Amino acid sequence: MDARLNYFTDPTAGKAFKHIMSVGRAIKESPLPAATQELVSLRVSQINGCAVCIDMHTKEAAAAGETSVRMNLVAAWREATVFTGAERAALELAEQGTRIADGAGGVPDEVWAHAAQHYDEGQLTALVLLISVMNTVNRLNVIAQQPAGDYEAGQFH
């Protein structure tokens, strides 16, 4: 399967991706725990059906020491006992922030309040940025039908 577009050779995409990568680095360097970042990235990508991002974030999470049990249970986090309260709040916010069109009014106040019980303002800011950027990147990849399976952990660092 070949992608519809080659973002790596297009000059406009190249300029845009420099900024997206810069945002990604800022999020990585934020006080939001790295494990939470990978779990949220994986869940948003699952919801959006972005195979290349699922491939990437599964491999990055594994390289960072995440267990296969937790990665496999991200899609069913509500029923899983392997996530902390903070991770569950982040996953809930990620789902609500990704499925905005599914619920009138956007992210419910109780979902935000639950996340705010576990994360300070800097972490919440990083979490919202992460959810937003992952949704953007997922859409870029899904629209262009980027193939998955060849990513190697650390490839874009």
What is the mean pLDDT for each group of 10 consecutive residues in the chain (157 residues)? 87 92 95 96 97 94 93 97 98 96 85 98 98 97 90 77
Which of 2, 4, 81, 87 has the alpha carbon at shortest distance from 38?
87
Q: Is residue 87 part of a domain?
A: yes
Q: C-alpha angle with apex 48: 43 to 49, nearest 5 degrees?
A: 95
Q: Is residue 60 part of a domain?
A: yes
Please give the structure tokens belonging to residue 123: 């972490």
Q: Is residue 2 part of a domain?
A: no
Q: Is residue 45 part of a domain?
A: yes
Q: How far apart are CA 38 and CA 54, in angstroms?
A: 10
Q: How far apart are CA 99 and CA 104, in angstroms?
A: 10
- State the pLDDT at residue 150: 84
Cβ-based burial of 39 (10 A; exposed 0-12, middle 13-18, buried ≥19): buried
Domain of residue 58: give its range.
11-144
What CATH number did the domain enclosing 101 receive?
A: 1.20.1290.10
Asked whether 37 and 89 are in contact (CB, 8 A), the reply is no
Q: Is residue 34 part of a domain?
A: yes
Q: Is residue 105 part of a domain?
A: yes
Please give the structure tokens belonging to residue 117: 């019980």
Q: Is residue 59 part of a domain?
A: yes
- State the pLDDT at residue 157: 67
Q: Is residue 4 part of a domain?
A: no
Each residue's pLDDT tens digit, 81-111: 999 999 999 999 999 999 998 876 789 999 9
Total number of domains in the chain: 1
